[in-house]
A and B are shown apart, each in its own frame.
Chain A
Amino acid sequence: MTHLGYLLVGWGASLGALGFYALRVMQRGRRAAGRVPPERRRWLAAEETS
């Protein structure tokens, strides 16, 4: 395969950036949700657990 270095940098940066953003936004959500009272997290219905 030609240009493998360019391909790895381009693809790696893309997948890495999206993965990093995904982890960061979930982490931010967990941190904020932990500080907001449950009754004010009103976008979510309470989940069913067994």
Chain B
Amino acid sequence: MTTPVRSEAPAHTGSTTTRLLGVAVIVGLVALVLLGFFGAPADDEQADAVRLIFVHVPSAFLTYAAFTVTAVGSVMWLWKRSLWWDLVAHGSAEIGVVFCSLTLFTGSVWGRPTWNTYWDWGDVRLVTTLILLLLMVGYLAVRSMGGDDSAVATRSAIVALIAAVNLPIVNRSVEWWFDRTLHQKSSLTDGNLEDLTLFTMLLGVVVWSLFYVWAMIHRFRVGWLERELRFGDLDVAIAQRRAEARASGDGGGR
């Protein structure tokens, strides 16, 4: 038996929590695939195409959740100048863009067998979701433009809050403009789902949520490290400049 020893901080962003979450996500994904393809029944109208609901609805749910967290983080940055919340806002926006892209893609793939089209520019749900995605891609573009960290955080927080106005519009669009969309109303509230279909869809939401938490922890740490690198490089540059200034001062006899 060996005595435990303390090692240096590991050169990665993992921890016991992320490893446990990772295992839970993998187990959940296996269960989701088995239930999604072989457990849940086919639909009377859509046949097996309905099985896309198990990836489409969780992606849409996590899109709302991730961008809501970004909006909250942005408010907290503007209000409290909290670096922690700024890193949360940035990380959540990045993950939200992945989920929002998947929502549009899986919805489009599902639309072909059920609506006979991949895309309809007159459909308010589709177009408002696309606008949301473009706004959040714009948020990430603002973040990547560089410059003073505080100014970048403030500019991007404003973009995030403009995008957040679109969230309830996307969500309510199928109610407000029901005659201008092919999209059904809420899968949860319309009560048309079989029990096992509903269970599998909710399992999908749980698995996607666990993935979101796992990814957020890693992404937050990446954001922290990259900030440390920027400020570390700045510290080195300032020290070099001071050394140069001292050296030139000595050389000039002052």
Are A26 and B13 within 8 A (Cβ)?
yes
Max count, chain A CB within 10 A of own CB: residue among B59, B214, B220, B228:
B228
Residue-wise interface mask of B (212-251) relative to A, using a CB-CB cutoff of 8 A (1 in contact, 0 not): 0011001111101110110010000000000000000000
A22 to B9: give the CA distance in the assembly, Å.
21
Residues of B within 8 A of A6 (CB): 49, 52, 109-110, 112-113
Counting contact residues on chain A (CB < 8 A from B), the size range is: 35 or more
Segment at the A interface, from B73-81, B100-108, B128-136? B100-108
Whether the Cβ atoms of A33 and B55 lie closer than 8 Å is no
CA of A14 to CA of B42 in the docked complex: distance in angstroms?
A: 20
Which of A1, A22, A46 is the one whose CB lies under 8 Å from B215?
A: A22
A interface footprint on B7-46 (CB within 8 Å = 1, 0 otherwise): 1111111110000000000000100010011000010000
Question: Does B90 interact with chain A (Cβ within 8 Å)?
Answer: no
Judge whether B122 is part of the interface by a CB distance below 8 angstroms.
no
Interface size class of B (residues with CB under 8 A): 35 or more
A2, A42, A45, A47: the one within 8 Å of B48 (CB): A2
Closest A residue by C-beta to B217: A43
Q: With the chains together, A10 CA to B112 CA distance in Å?
A: 12
A43 to chain B, nearest CB (A): 6
Q: Identify the closest chain A residue to B219 (Cβ).
A: A25
**B residues within 8 A CB of A37?**
232
Residues of B within 8 A of A18 (CB): 98, 102, 211
Report yes or no: B48 in contact with A7, Cβ–Cβ below 8 A: yes
- Is the pair A50, B52 in contact by a Cβ cutoff of 8 Å? no
| Given known A-B contacts A32-B229, A46-B8, A4 and B102 have beta carbons under 8 A apart | no
Asked whether B168 is an interface residue with its Cβ less than 8 Å from the other chain, the reply is no
Q: Which residue of B lies closest to A3 (CB)?
A: B49
Given contacts A14-B102, A14-B106, A17-B102, contact A49 B4 (CB under 8 A): yes
Return chain A residues, CB-CB under 8 Å to B229. Answer: 32, 35-36
Contacting residues, chain B, for A11 (C-beta < 8 A): 33, 36, 51-52, 55
A1 shortest CB reach to chain B, Å: 5
A17-B222 contact in complex given A7-B49, A7-B52, C-beta closer than 8 Å: no
Is the C-beta of B184 less than 8 angstroms from some C-beta in chain A? no
Q: Using CB atoms, name the residue of chain A closest to B211.
A: A18
Is B29 touching A15 in the complex (CB atoms < 8 A)? yes
Taken together as a complex, chains A and B put the C-alpha atoms of A15 and B12 apart, in Å, by 23
B11 near A34: Cβ-Cβ < 8 Å: yes
B238 → chain A closest CB, angstroms: 16
